[in-house]
Amino acid sequence: MSNTIKKSEAEWQAVLSPEQFRVLREKGTERPGTGEYNKHKESGVYTCAGCDTPLYTSTTKFDSGCGWPAFFDAIPGAVSRHEDNSMGTKRIEITCTACGGHLGHVFKGEGFPTPTDERHCVNSVSLSFKDQK
């Protein structure tokens, strides 16, 4: 599926903070335990910080202890998966389907008591949050 939101690097830099740009557009990673949504427990929807597309609901968020927000599933069609061999090991990168922004990685088979046995390990800086009231 092709990305639906296209912007030049300069356009992304104009709308994202330097840290958001580093993570979302350059596939960076925030330091563990530093993100604002790691221990966030409010009810609502987590959206892409780059394009505001809804990605995850709070009902799929769980505490994995990994230092980043963890979700066991995404909103259908919102997140794309790509093979990532950049760290000398095979991982699955997850990106926003709408804008291609880097979110983090998904890990399977870790034994968490979730319906999917998956952990979407997402950088907080890749997300925004909308309260559900």
Q: What is the DSSP string of the chain?
A: ---S----HHHHHHHS-HHHIIIIIT---PPTT--TTTT---SEEEEETTT--EEEEGGGEE--SSSS-EES--STTTEEEEEE-TTSS-EEEEEETTT--EEEEEEE-S--SSSS-EEEEE-GGGEEEEE--
Catalytic (active site) residue 96: no
Of 48, 51, 96, 121, catalytic? 121
Q: What are phi and psi of 121, to 5 degrees?
A: -95, 105
**Residue positions annotated with a catalytic role:** 121
